[in-house]
Amino acid sequence: MQSFFPPQRPLVLGSTSRYRRELLQRLRLPFEVTAPDVDETPQPGEAPPALALRLALAKAHAVASQYPEAVVIGSDQVADLAGHPLGKPGNHERAVAQLGMMSGHTVIFQTAVAVVCHATGFEQAELAAVEVRFRALAEDEIERYLRAEQPYDCAGSAKSEGLGISLLDAIVSDDPTALIGLPLIRTCRLLRAAGIILP
């Protein structure tokens, strides 16, 4: 059976996130997954949007150095609470602290995506900012939620695509999948710019 698409460069997702892998699968493109070796420590005084963009590009370049002929996607997400970056909590205690800080506040989830191809010199990145308004949360609500969903690998300690939606008053975004970890509208735009043909 003849393919509708001409041969394309290999596509590689530079990420260990299962959420990003699942999102990229929606585009029905064949791709490999490789973990980027990148230090994610914020630089002194680095604002959350700048941090997310820097790390997305660093991840894409780290993987592109191993696959120079491939088109590589890197992505990073930083929860931005009044200019203070919140990363993945990693454990229950830090998740309790994060949700306590975000209770009753608006948090901007800065999700950056970068697409790089060393063979062609292509490099572009975009940022999607998602406004998330948290309800005022009681301590027992936080505890019940965390015990139920254990979102310790998610920036901001909540999964909007799951039970975490019950913690929120509103989500405002122009790229609906950005909050889950990969802004697919922007990703498609960058992939097309890099020469990848999408259905």
Would the CA dihedral through 138, 139, 144, 145 be positive or negative? positive
DSSP H helices in the chain: 18-25, 48-64, 92-102, 139-149, 184-193
Q: Quick one: pLDDT at residue 170? A: 97
Q: What is the pLDDT of residue 3?
A: 47
For 22, the 3-state DSSP assignment is: helix
Per annotation, catalytic residue among 39, 76, 80, 153: 76
Please report the sign of the dihedral spanned by the C-alpha atoms of residue 136, residue 140, residue 144, residue 150: positive
Q: What is the pLDDT of residue 125?
A: 98
And the tokens for 108?
């901007």
Annotation: CATH topology of 11-193: Maf protein (3.90.950)
Q: pTM for the whole thing? A: 0.89
3-state secondary structure 103-127: CCCEEEEEEEEEEEECCCCEEEEEE
H or E element in which residue 31 lies: none
Strands 84-86 and 71-81, by their bridges, are antiparallel
Q: Mapping DSSP to helix (H, G, I), strand (E, B) and coil, where does residue 84 land?
A: strand
Catalytic residue at 76? yes
**Sequence spans of domains, the chain:** 11-193
CA 17 to CA 94: how far, in whole Å? 20
Mean pLDDT of successive 10-residue stretches along the chain, which has 199 residues: 64 94 96 95 92 97 97 95 90 96 96 97 98 97 96 90 95 95 97 93
Given this model, what pLDDT does residue 4 score?
Answer: 52
Phi, psi for residue 57 in degrees, rounded to 5: -65, -40
Report the pLDDT value the prediction gives residue 167, as an integer from 0 to 100: 96
Cα 161 from Cα 88, distance rounded (Å):
16
